[in-house]
């Protein structure tokens, strides 16, 4: 029976490969909620799980970078400081560290194995297949950034990407709804067809007699993190969407359903991420009201958002005052999943991962143990302990460059709105990853954000170059008549 969903996936993937380029963008986002589905039988991969999204990313990479022109443009971006040089240097350093450090420090550094039966156990560093697999995952993410940076330079492709975001959010809602309904309907056998990953799957966990919604992801925290990423992206990218049914009706409904599913996931990291999302939304509203007065897309909806937020706050205050018992289950759930989190064995275990990984970084004198060398419960610690201080420095400098230094062409209101959405939507999932991120891979969702920011910034650089060329031509044309007049006067004197 497992062969049926695999055959369906590959049929769709091959079909989209030979369609227009935007078809792969839609499949890329639609595949994200299937994080527990091995699209290639694990018997053929030696136990390595290849989920649909990385495989679609590989097809996208082949489509965009598989030609001489594509490779030339990727190399040009990789060698430009204003392009993707910092990301390329991170990739290069991570590869070198992964090749040499697990062998150089073998048996001398204590780590938490990335794959182990008991994750509370530690071991001594040795080269493993996880070094190869994690480098492959990082390579896919890095090359996906290059692919999106080339693909999304055209405005129609960007609009397809926004619609694909909505499709991915809808699939997340659909899979989460199926998992929720499986408590009451005989859907479990169908869901099990898509839960074939070789790593541990926590799909039947209950908190306060309530089943944690996991969708088709490995665990509730992974599902909550994905739903949070889509929620933040839809909220901020909606401003760049053209008016219509998608902007006015579909996106608000999807955001409401994602919010509900995040709550039902009972993920403490997702709960804190929701708080960060609310803070980012408030800060973004203030920024738009003060600093983005010249962009009509960013000014759209300011008043309605203010009154909607005020009405929601007043309604919540009235409920707390008039019917406090109505919020008792929510308060109890928040208390158990967030306030009491530090007393749980899970918190102690994850804290141990991070502590051991930090000690491994110190023991290697900041060089790192190689990708896949150790597990942490903090993305920044996982990245630094795996890729070393130099690799982490290149990566985070690239992130700062993407969020703070990319600029859209002057007068491109849509590009400015998209870059603003990249900056604000990046923050809640990033801070959430500082609590639950176990591997150094920054992920394919972030690869999309980096790629679209680079595509817009690249276009801005081209526009700036064109404006400089126009200025040079105008200057030359202004000086040319004066020289002609001088030559004519000289000729007349003779």
- The pLDDT confidence band at residue 315, using thresholds 50, 70 and 90, is confident
Higher pLDDT, 134 or 49: 134
What are the structure tokens assigned to 339, written together? 């306030």
Choice among 43-47, 66-70, 322-326, 346-350 with the minimum mean pLDDT:
322-326
Q: Please give the average per-residue pLDDT across 467-480, as a whole number.
A: 48
51 φ/ψ sector (left φ>0, alpha ψ -120 to 50, else beta): beta
Whole-number Cα distances in Å, 320 to 328, 331, 338, 397: 10, 11, 20, 45
Kindly indicate the confidence band of residue 492, based on its pLDDT and cuts at 50, 70 and 90.
Answer: very low
Distance of CA 86 to the CA centre of its chain: 18
41-99 pLDDT per residue, tens: 878 877 778 899 999 999 999 999 988 999 999 999 999 998 999 999 999 999 999 99
Instruction: Please state the three-class secondary structure of the chain as a single string.
Output: CCHHHHHHHHHHHHHHHCCCHHHHHHHHHHCCCCCCCCCCCCCCCCCCCCCHHHHHHHHHHHHHHCCHHHHHHHHHHHCCCCCCHHHHHHHHHHHHHHHHHHHHCCCCCEECCCCCCCCCCCEECCCCHHHHHHHHHHHHHHHHHHHHHHHCCCHHHHHHHHHHHHHHHHHHHHHHHHHHHCCCCCCHHHHHCCCCCCCCCCCCCEECCEECCCCCCCCHHHHHHHHHHHHHHHHHHHHHCCCCHHHHHHHHHHHHHHHHHHHHHCCHHHHHHHHHHHHHHHHHHHHHHHHCCCCHHHHCCHHHHHHHHHHHHHHHHHHHHHCHHHHHHHHHHHHHHHHCHHHCHHHHHHHHHHHHHHHHHHHCCCCCCCCCCCCCCCHHHHHHHHHHHHHHHHHHHHHHHHHHHCCCCCCCHHHHHHHHHHHHHHHHHHHHHHHHCCCCCCCHHHHHHHHHHHHHHHHHHHHHHHHHHHHHHHHHHHHHHHHHHHHHHHHHHC
Average pLDDT, the chain: 84
Query: Binning pLDDT at 50, 70 and 90, where does residue 326 land?
Result: low
pLDDT given for residue 490 in this prediction: 45
* pLDDT tens string 242-264: 888 998 899 999 999 999 999 88
Structure tokens that stand for 344 in this block: 């749980």
413 against 388, higher pLDDT: 388
Angle in degrees, CA 130, 132, 137, rounded to 5: 90
193 vs 465, higher pLDDT: 193
Q: Which of these, 182, 193, 160, lies nearest to 22 by C-alpha position? A: 160
What was the pLDDT predicted at 7? Answer: 92
| Structure confidence by residue, pLDDT tens digits, 157-174 | 999 999 999 999 999 999
- Whether the full predicted model's pTM is greater than 0.85, yes or no, is yes
pLDDT at site 221? 86
Does the pLDDT at position 460 exceed 50? Answer: no
CA contacts within 13 A on the Cβ side of 334: 10
- CA nearest to 445, candidates 21, 157, 33, 10: 33
Would you say 433 and 480 are in contact if contact means Cβ atoms under 8 Å apart?
A: no
83/486 Cα distance (integer angstroms): 46
Q: Is 125 in contact with 385 (CB distance < 8 Å)?
A: no
- Exposed, middle or buried by CB within 10 Å (0-12, 13-18, 19+), for 311? exposed
Taking residues 187-210, report their average pLDDT: 79
Question: With 50 as the cut, is the pLDDT of residue 486 above it?
Answer: no
In the predicted model, is pLDDT for residue 388 greater than 90?
yes
| pLDDT value at residue 199 | 74
**What pLDDT score was predicted for residue 2?**
77
CA-CA distance, 272 to 427, in Å (whole number)?
12
What's the pLDDT tens digit per position in 212-235?
Answer: 889 999 888 889 999 999 999 999
pLDDT at 482: 42
Residue 360, pLDDT above cutoff 60: yes
Q: What is the pLDDT of residue 329?
A: 58
CB count within 10 Å of CB 61 equals 21
Residue 158's nearest CA partner among 403, 414, 413 is: 414
Q: Which backbone phi and psi does 124 adopt, to 5 degrees?
A: -90, 145
What pLDDT is stored for residue 334 in this prediction? 59
Provide the token pair at 83. 């392009």
Q: Determine the average pLDDT of the residues in 387-399.
A: 96
């Amino acid at each position: 029976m497992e062969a049926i969903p695999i055959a369906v996936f590959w049929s769709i993937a091959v079909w989209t490969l030979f369609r227009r380029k935007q078809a792969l963008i839609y499949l890329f986002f639609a595949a994200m909620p299937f994080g527990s589905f091995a699209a290639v039988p694990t018997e053929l991969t030696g136990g390595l799980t290849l989920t649909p999204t990385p495989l679609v990313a590989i097809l996208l990479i082949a489509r965009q970078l598989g030609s001489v022109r594509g490779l030339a443009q990727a190399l040009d971006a990789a060698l430009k400081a204003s392009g993707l040089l910092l990301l390329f240097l991170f990739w290069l350093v991570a590869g070198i560290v992964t090749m040499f450090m697990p062998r150089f420090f073998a048996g001398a550094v204590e780590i938490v194995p990335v794959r182990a039966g008991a994750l509370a156990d530690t071991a001594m560093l040795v080269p493993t297949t996880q070094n190869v697999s994690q480098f492959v995952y990082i390579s896919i993410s890095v090359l996906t950034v290059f692919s999106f940076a080339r693909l999304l330079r055209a405005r129609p492709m960007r609009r397809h990407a926004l619609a694909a975001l909505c499709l991915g959010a809808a699939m997340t809602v659909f899979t989460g709804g199926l998992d929720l309904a499986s408590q009451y309907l005989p859907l479990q056998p169908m869901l099990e067809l898509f839960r074939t990953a070789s790593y541990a799957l926590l799909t039947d966990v209950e908190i306060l007699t309530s089943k944690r919604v996991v969708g088709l992801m490995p665990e509730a925290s992974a599902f909550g993190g994905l739903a949070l990423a889509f929620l933040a992206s839809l909220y901020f990218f909606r401003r760049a969407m053209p008016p219509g049914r998608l902007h006015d009706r579909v996106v608000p409904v999807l955001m409401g359903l994602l919010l509900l599913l995040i709550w039902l996931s009972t993920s403490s990291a997702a709960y804190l991420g929701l708080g960060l999302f609310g803070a980012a939304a408030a800060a973004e509203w203030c920024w738009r009201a003060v600093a983005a007065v010249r962009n009509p897309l960013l000014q759209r909806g300011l008043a309605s958002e203010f009154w909607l937020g005020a009405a929601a706050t007043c309604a919540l205050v009235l409920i707390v005052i008039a019917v406090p018992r109505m919020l008792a289950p929510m308060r109890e759930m928040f208390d158990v999943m967030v306030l009491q989190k530090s007393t749980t064995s899970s918190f102690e275990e994850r804290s141990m991962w991070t502590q051991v990984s930090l000690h491994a970084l110190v023991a290697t004198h900041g060089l790192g143990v190689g990708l896949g060398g150790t597990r942490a419960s903090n993305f920044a610690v996982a990245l630094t302990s795996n890729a070393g201080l130099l690799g982490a420095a290149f990566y985070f400098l690239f992130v700062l460059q993407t969020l703070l230094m990319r600029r859209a062409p002057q007068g491109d209101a849509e590009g400015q709105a998209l870059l603003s959405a990249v900056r604000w939507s990046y923050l809640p999932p990033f801070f959430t990853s500082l609590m639950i991120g176990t591997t150094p891979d920054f992920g394919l969702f972030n690869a999309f954000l980096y790629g679209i920011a680079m595509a817009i910034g690249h276009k801005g650089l081209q526009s700036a170059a064109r404006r400089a060329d126009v200025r040079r031509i105008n200057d030359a044309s202004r000086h040319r008549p004066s020289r002609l007049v001088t030559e004519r006067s000289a000729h007349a004197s003779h």
